[in-house]
Amino acid sequence: MFVDQVKIFLKSGDGGNGLVAYRREKYVPMGGPAGGDGGDGASIIFEVDEGLRTLLDFRYQRHFKAKRGENGMSSNMHGKNSEPLILKVPPGTVIKKVEDDETMADLTTHGQQAVVAKGGRGGRGNSRFASSRNPAPDLAENGEPGEEFEVTLELKLMADVGLVGFPSVGKSTILNSVSRAKPKIGAYHFTTISPNLGVVQSGDGRSFVMADLPGLIEGAAEGSGLGHQFLRHVERTKVIVHVVDISESEGRDAVEDYHTIRQELGEYNPALLERPEVIVLNKTDLLEDTEVIDLFRQEIGEDKEIFSVSAATSDNLQPLLYKVADILDESDEAEVELDETEERVVYRHEKDPDAFKISRDDDGAYVVSGPTIERVFMMTDFNRDAAVRRFARQMRSMGIDDALRERGIETGDTVRILGGEFDFVE
């Protein structure tokens, strides 16, 4: 079963809680604070495994939750950091955040890793807060919560060459003739319902990977047929081999077929029209004369790379393979030159992490939200007065108190953060 797109839920590990403890040993007067830090939570890492070909493993398990860090211990012993949760994916996997469709990682080479969900930092124990003014602090931090969100995994096949064209033009037969791949071949449309890969070797020993992609139809870029589902695989290919039924055995016009598929590729991604292309006029064994081939060349243009072949009889396939191998060699040289060019650093504007927003609930409560204040709230142990006072100082230093006063808050009004409530006091 070929699975090339799944949506999964990720939850990295929370950090372990810091501890409030004091050193109490015989012959050690005034031992002082001895609460250890919590361990860091486990991050979720995606890693490429070249032995995988589909995302089938993620079809049946959709939720992944990493382990939290160990809590801090007495005698200044820190909790253990949790080992990262490593998820294996096939080459060509693109990871996107569902919330904003942001691309988080594009994994292509074996062993490549990407930290997608970072584990929470362990909370600090009370020994971390000791100072000359407060030598025995009575507060510690809770662990930082881990990240949680949904991501979409999209697989784009890592093939050098992609066979595209209408259904039943002979793409699977070509792949079967030039490689050891055994795609399903049948005398009906959409015989191929998932991409097939085959390693092809030309007569001079050069090899490359060829993908037989499911047939496209008019409207594929809008989702008609299987097009929208598999057009993404064309994006990875270096060379597009456009297969056309020159015998017009399906009752379609060969020139019109060519222009229709080109239009669908352009509507899906205009960059595909700039990709090197080889046109293959297949099923020449069914022709009574070559006049239709000459007419096709006149309509399309003599500057196009056009090969007349018969996949059924393997006629003229080797010259096609030589040409494709030549184009791949040229593209590899261009990539080497591109890699040697000077890299430019692009700086993106990032939001102020201390930014917050104040709104009103229906019951009149003031609701404060923002990534930093919410994280501070969750890392505060409200069972200890010292921790509550520290939280109040942090709100004041962030400017939240002044912002609430500007909104008209008065003593006794309710302030709400992540469901927690407290009264505002001047």
**Model pLDDT for residues 91-130, shown as the tens digit of each residue:** 889 999 998 888 899 888 899 999 999 999 999 999 999 9
Cα dihedral 410, 414, 417, 420 sign = positive
Locate tokens 């022709």: which residue? 287
DSSP class of 176? H
State residue 16's pLDDT score.
95
- The verdict on whether residue 237 carries a ligand-binding annotation is no
State residue 269's pLDDT score.
83
- The verdict on whether residue 93 carries a ligand-binding annotation is no
Closest among 59, 51, 52, 49 to 5, alpha carbons compared: 59
Q: To which CATH superfamily is domain 357-424 assigned?
A: GTP-binding protein OBG, C-terminal domain (3.30.300.350)
Question: How many Å apart are CA 301 and CA 283, to the nearest integer?
Answer: 21
- The verdict on whether residue 97 carries a ligand-binding annotation is no
Question: How many Å apart are CA 328 and CA 316, to the nearest integer?
Answer: 19
State residue 182's pLDDT score.
64
Where are the domains positioned within the chain? 1-156, 164-337, 357-424
- The verdict on whether residue 276 carries a ligand-binding annotation is no
- DSSP secondary structure of 257-286: HHHHHHHHHHHH-GGGGGS-EEEEEE-GGG
Output phi, psi for 332, to 5 deg: -65, -40
- The verdict on whether residue 82 carries a ligand-binding annotation is no
State residue 96's pLDDT score.
92
- The verdict on whether residue 376 carries a ligand-binding annotation is no
State residue 332's pLDDT score.
65
DSSP class of 245? E
- The verdict on whether residue 172 carries a ligand-binding annotation is yes
- The verdict on whether residue 312 carries a ligand-binding annotation is yes
- The verdict on whether residue 166 carries a ligand-binding annotation is yes
CATH fold for the domain made of 1-156: Spo0b-associated Gtp-binding Protein; Chain: A, (2.70.210)
- The verdict on whether residue 214 carries a ligand-binding annotation is yes
- The verdict on whether residue 282 carries a ligand-binding annotation is yes
- The verdict on whether residue 103 carries a ligand-binding annotation is no
- The verdict on whether residue 169 carries a ligand-binding annotation is yes
- The verdict on whether residue 165 carries a ligand-binding annotation is yes
- The verdict on whether residue 4 carries a ligand-binding annotation is no
State residue 336's pLDDT score.
42
Question: How many Å apart are CA 182 and CA 170, to the nearest integer?
Answer: 13
State residue 87's pLDDT score.
95
Q: Which residues of the chain have pLDDT under 70?
A: 1-3, 181-194, 215-230, 332-354
Output phi, psi for 252, to 5 deg: -100, 160
- The verdict on whether residue 310 carries a ligand-binding annotation is yes
- Please tell me the pTM assigned to this model: 0.72
- The verdict on whether residue 284 carries a ligand-binding annotation is yes
Pairing of strands 85-89, 44-48: parallel
The domain made up of 164-337 is a member of CATH 1.10.10.10: no
State residue 223's pLDDT score.
46
Strand ranges inside 224-329, DSSP E? 239-245, 277-282, 306-308
State residue 346's pLDDT score.
53
- The verdict on whether residue 362 carries a ligand-binding annotation is no
